[in-house]
Chains A and B, each alone.
Chain A
Amino acid sequence: MDQNFRSELDRRLDLYEDPASDEGVLPPLPVGDIVISIVVLAVLSMALLGWCFL
């Protein structure tokens, strides 16, 4: 790891870990979002299969 990269990395990691800093990890993706997309895909898939084969 070159020196410039390391010092910039250190600075950024410190910022991420500093509670007073504006920087940080984004909030997690809500599980509801995943459930919604799976349910929509499942319903759409069933409808399309019905359209094709019934």
Chain B
Amino acid sequence: MSFHISRSAPEPGSTSDLPLLKKERIWSFGDFSAANIGLAIATWAFLQGGAVAYYVGAKEAVASIVIGYGISIIFVALAPCVPSARYGVEQFVSLRSSFGTSGSRVIMLVLSALLAAAWAAVLAIMCGHAFANVCNALLGTDLATDSLFVKLMGLSAVIVSWIILTQGPRSIETVNKFVSPGLVVVTLIMLVLVFTQIGWTELMELKPLAADFDKHMAFMIAIELNVAGGLAWWPNVGNLARLTRSSRAAYWPNMIGLFLASVLAAVVGAFAALALGSEDPTLWMIPLGGFVLGGLALLFVGFANITSIVAQGYAALVAVRGGAGSVGRRLPWPVLGALLFVPAVVLVFFPDVTYNNYGRFVSWGATALAPLCAVQFVDFFILRRQRLDLRAMYDNRPGSPYHFSGGFNVVAFVSAAAGALTYGLLLNPVDYIPAEAFRWLTASLPAMIVSGVLYWVLTKIITIPLGQGGFGAQAPATGEPESAGRGPGRL
């Protein structure tokens, strides 16, 4: 994952939640594509591939990864990216038109913080596994996955990530300049090594790691895993797309970068998992590449986890600092970073529970993200036809268009809650047991449909008649809000 935010001297807008000026939109189509490739080719892609291989064989893995990521990344490329890019605003600012001026803050604060902490814990434990496996191979030790060594290495990974994070975006960019290309090389080497060990025909005939699963249900779980995996980009991508210079440059690089690169890395991960009979990416490298090459690759992947934590943490910190308003802007960057990582520090002491429940983890994320994405999509693309009132986004006074009721659009929250409930009824994220209807529907897609349709209906019969949301007075496409002349409120 590479952030090039610091390529030029930081402008006031690019590091705050102000709408960007033309000169601050520093990313072309190619720049954003490159950033997205870096974001996608990270260690989590291997985890995703391993999780998919647990349920399905090679052919179904390819299909489920393409279909699942394809569906979710189209929504993720549209809902948060296009409004943020079109108006040059941070994601939580554009979210104000659907969830309200205060509601959007709560959503971005809670989701960004929770997801960043959870990803940090999973990746830190993966780092611990990597170093434990290198030790086991090098020194003949027998360090278990829940050993004190793994816990301490996980803790160290979190602390090192925090130290890098405190140095700001420039250090992150420097580190990622080496790690992102390195991970591309490791991914390609892994692909070659898989095919030196096993032929295409043999690979296609390998059974999934959980061979006793109902095949139809297993395929739908694999699709769901990938839809959920793609939705996990939602908290980060809007703030990146904001830096682009056109709506097309905000949309298509997600399909080239996030989609194609994620698919490639996850497919390689799934093939490696099937060939080696393990869903844990840290167990693939040494059997594939031998002690020297595999050991070096494993060490590299171990360190790469740290940069993935930092990149995810940076995106979350930007969102949390913006979402927390003036309090967030006053808190020193290192303090905010430390607060963000506190839950991860706790979770690394429960490595097996955290690491072995990757599917449940992305499922919990999708329970919230699928409905949010649907509400935002319906609000911006269907109800508002890509037109927002920029001045109203910064106006929190009662009676302003996006203030709704007390700063919260209750209709959006009710619609999102209905979607989350739908998800839970189809795939319980606690025990990860699907309902019978799941085999035809998945869980994320019905959750999105329920939320989106309910939001459209309730907006038509409640919000618009109440005169809330500014639906009757959308700003023209030229960017001249009809409410021009009002001063911004107290955001």
> Which A positions have Cβ atoms within 8 angstroms of B?
1-2, 5-6, 8-10, 12-13, 15-17, 19, 22-30, 33-34, 37-38, 41, 44-45, 48-49, 51-52
Question: Which residue of the partner chain, among B62, B385, B390, B489, contacts A25 with CB atoms under 8 Å?
Answer: B390
Contact present for B487 and A10 (CB under 8 Å):
yes
B59 to chain A, nearest CB (A): 5
Select one of B82, B326, B391, B489 contacting A13, CB under 8 A: B391
The one of B71, B252, B385, B479 that contacts A24, using a Cβ cutoff of 8 Å: B479
Check if B96 is an interface residue, CB within 8 A of chain A.
no
Q: Which of A9, A15, A23, A37 contacts B255 (CB 8 A)?
A: A37
Do A12 and B251 touch across chains, with their CB atoms under 8 A apart? no
A28 and B477 contact, Cβ closer than 8 Å, known pairs A9-B394, A41-B71: yes
A45 to B82, CA, bound (A): 25
Are B480 and A33 within 8 A (Cβ)? Answer: no
* Structural contact, A9 and B18, CB atoms closer than 8 A: yes
Contact (Cβ within 8 A) B60 A5: no
Q: Which 10 A-B pairs have the closest CB atoms?
A: A25-B479, A48-B63, A29-B247, A28-B386, A24-B479, A41-B70, A26-B86, A45-B67, A52-B59, A17-B484
A21 CA / B340 CA spacing, docked (Å): 40
Q: A52–B479 contact, CB under 8 A?
A: no
Q: Are A52 and B86 in contact (CB under 8 A)?
A: no
Report the minimum CB–CB distance from A5 to chain B (whole Å).
7
Assuming the contacts A27-B246, A52-B59, A52-B63, asked whether A5 and B21 have C-beta atoms less than 8 A apart, the reply is no
**A17: B residues at CB distance < 8 A:** 391, 479-481, 484
- Contact of A13 with B478 at beta-carbon distance under 8 Å, contacts A8-B18, A44-B70, A48-B62 already known: no
Residues of A within 8 A of B491 (CB): 1
Secondary structure of the A side of the interface? helix
Task: Please encode chain B, from 61 to 103, with 1 for each CB lying within 8 Å of some chain A CB and 0 for all others.
Answer: 0110011001100100010001001111000000000000000
Checking A6, A24, A44 against B488 with a beta-carbon cut-off of 8 angstroms, the contacting residue is A6
Query: Roughly how many angstroms separate A45 CA and B60 CA in the complex, as a whole number?
Result: 11
Contact check, B60 vs A52: say whether CB atoms are below 8 A apart: yes
B382-411 interface mask toward A, CB cutoff 8 Å, 1 = contact, 0 = none? Answer: 000111001100100000000000000000
Can you list 7 residue pairs at the A/B interface with Cβ under 8 Å? Answer: A9-B488, A10-B487, A12-B13, A26-B245, A41-B71, A45-B67, A48-B63
Q: Are A23 and B391 in contact (CB under 8 A)?
A: no
B488 and A10 contact, CB distance less than 8 A: yes
Say yes or no: is B469 at the interface (Cβ < 8 Å to chain A): no
Asked if A27 and B477 make an inter-chain contact with CB atoms under 8 angstroms apart, the answer reads yes
The reply to whether A25 and B86 contact each other, CB–CB distance below 8 Å, is yes
- Shortest Cβ gap from A9 to chain B (Å): 5
The reply to whether the CB of B419 lies closer than 8 angstroms to some CB of chain A is no
B6 adjacent to chain A (CB < 8 Å):
no
A44 to chain B: closest residue by CB? B66
A1, A25, A45, A49 pick with most chain B CB within 10 angstroms? A25
Tell me the bound Cα distance from A43 to B13 in angstroms: 41
Q: What's the minimum C-beta distance from B318 to chain A, rounded to whole angstroms? A: 16
Residues A27 and B247 in contact, CB atoms below 8 Å apart: yes
17 additional contacts (CB under 8 A) given A28-B385, A29-B248, A49-B67: A1-B325, A8-B18, A9-B18, A9-B19, A9-B488, A17-B480, A17-B481, A24-B478, A25-B86, A25-B479, A26-B85, A26-B87, A26-B250, A27-B86, A29-B82, A29-B251, A37-B255
B326: chain A residues at CB < 8 Å are 1-2, 5
* Interface assignment of B168: CB less than 8 Å from any CB of chain A: no
Q: Is the CB of A45 within 8 A of B70?
A: yes
A1 to B391, CA, bound (A): 15
User: Given contacts A5-B16, A25-B86, A52-B63, are A13 and B74 in contact (CB under 8 A)?
Assistant: no
B12 CB-CB contact with A under 8 Å: yes
A19 touches B478 (CB 8 A): yes
How distant is the Cα of A22 from the Cα of B12 in the complex, in angstroms? 18
Contact in complex: A28, B390 (CB < 8 Å): no
Residues on the A chain within 8 Å of B477, using CB: 25, 27-28
Q: Are A16 and B479 in contact (CB under 8 A)?
A: yes
Complex interface: chain B residues within 8 A of A30 (CB):
248
